[in-house]
Amino acid sequence: MSAPSPSSETGARTVRVDLAGRPYDILIGAGLLSGIGAQIAALRPGARVAIVTDRNVAERHLATVETSLRAAGIGSVAVVVAPGEKTKSYAGLEQVVEGIISARIERRDLVLALGGGVVGDLAGFAASVVRRGVDVVQAPTTLLSQVDSSVGGKTGINSPQGKNLVGAFHQPVLVVADTAALDTLPAREVRSGYAEVAKYGLLGDAALFGWLEAKGREVISGGAARAEAVAASCMAKAAIVARDEKETGDRALLNLGHTFGHALEAGAGFSDRLLHGEAVSIGMCLAFAYSAHLGLCPGQDAVRAVRHLEAVGLPTRISQVPGDLPDTDGLMTLIAQDKKVSRGALTFILARGIGEAFIARDVDAASVRGFLADMRAA
């Protein structure tokens, strides 16, 4: 595990996403939103900006961003949507697209996604289709979006039949991760985002996972370890995205826990009953337990994953999802809609141990169904 050095110009840590012909920077540090206007003016002189955000984020951060843009001579308009996963819908997409078009944003202008994963996915997808493509700057304000969804260019909305089934790859031209924004979040939101931090250790970096076992509470509480964890996560994702931008190979490893997790999210109605990171936490525990069930992973590693996620306050069992869920057959129907399904065959991200995830293709559906039934009974 390592982290980038601070930039001498901004005091921020900088992580480079080295895509061929389209590289971009991730800036990580406290207070960066107050200087985002200067960053955008240097990146795209003369551009106007459509700020896409939700009501909760607008109350906390929109004035800071608008003031910074104005000070840099940048005109802007805000498109404000309702908070929550249900906004990642066809109706939400229409609202954002029409707002951008009404603002007369041109192809050489920018869309600025100011918010968490929902806003980032929605604004990024809207930017990809308005005028056949407007560049997007991501300004993530949640831990989950800073370490995962703002980086790598995956954008999209949910279908009634499953999560993220409609979308496009649309890489940002800049990511500005203001870690001070995390101080305004409810504790549950921070814990939810932490699941994606733990994911990087569990899938490919045993040393990072060991560090998190010692420092995880500090990452969540807002100690000095938080910025280090954000930078380490971004470095891990940037390396994978640079190798496999459109998930034709090992980028699929980033979906550890997501096949089970997305099914649980859909089963919970994409509601506050189960946040995305909470679903991923349960999903990762299921992925490790299923790997152990198949004899692929030592049982003690599966237990270790569960114990750490429990220790930081994340759910680890299906029974911890409030309210009713579909029965096992209903969950299997949702799993069959997973984007990694190929010609009807299930693909899962499984593990041989901590930091040793791998892509398992042609996984037997009957085996998964039996495992899920046992987990629910337990």
Q: Are residues 230 and 337 in the same domain?
A: yes
Enter the tokens of residue 264. 């649980």
Q: How confident is the model at residue 221 (pLDDT cuts 50, 70, 90)?
A: very high
pLDDT at 339: 66
Q: Which of 158, 184, 210 is the last residue of a domain?
A: 184
Q: Are residues 244 and 345 in the same domain?
A: yes
Are 125 and 67 spatial neighbours (Cβ–Cβ below 8 Å)? no
Model's pTM, two decimal places? 0.90
Q: Which of 184, 208, 227 is the last residue of a domain?
A: 184
Residues near 98 by Cβ (< 8 Å), separated by ≥ 6?
Answer: none
Inside any domain, residue 8: no
Q: Are residues 157 and 31 in the same domain?
A: yes
Inside any domain, residue 7: no
Asked if the model's pLDDT at residue 8 lies above 50, the reply is no
Inside any domain, residue 216: yes
Q: Are strands 24-29 and 174-178 parallel, antiparallel or unpaired?
A: parallel
**Type and span of the H or E element at 323:** none
Q: Which of 134, 166, 184 is the last residue of a domain?
A: 184
**Alpha-carbon gap, residue 172 to 154, rounded angstroms:** 10
CA torsion sign for 333, 337, 340, 343 is positive
Looking at the structure of the chain, the number of domains it has is 2
Enter the tokens of residue 90. 């066809």
The residues assigned a catalytic role are 132, 154, 196, 237, 247, 251, 255, 258, 262, 276
Inside any domain, residue 3: no
How confident is the model over 295-354, as pLDDT tens digits?
A: 999 999 999 999 999 999 999 999 999 999 999 999 999 998 876 677 678 999 999 999
Please tell me the number of Cα atoms within 13 Å of 313 on its side-chain side.
Answer: 14
Which range marks the domain in which residue 120 is found? 13-184
Closest CA to 107 of 156, 159, 22, 173: 173
Q: What angle do CA 122, 226, 200 make, to 5 degrees?
A: 65
Q: Are residues 49 and 101 in the same domain?
A: yes
- Hey, is 337 helix, strand or coil? coil
Which amino acid appears at position 128 of this protein?
S
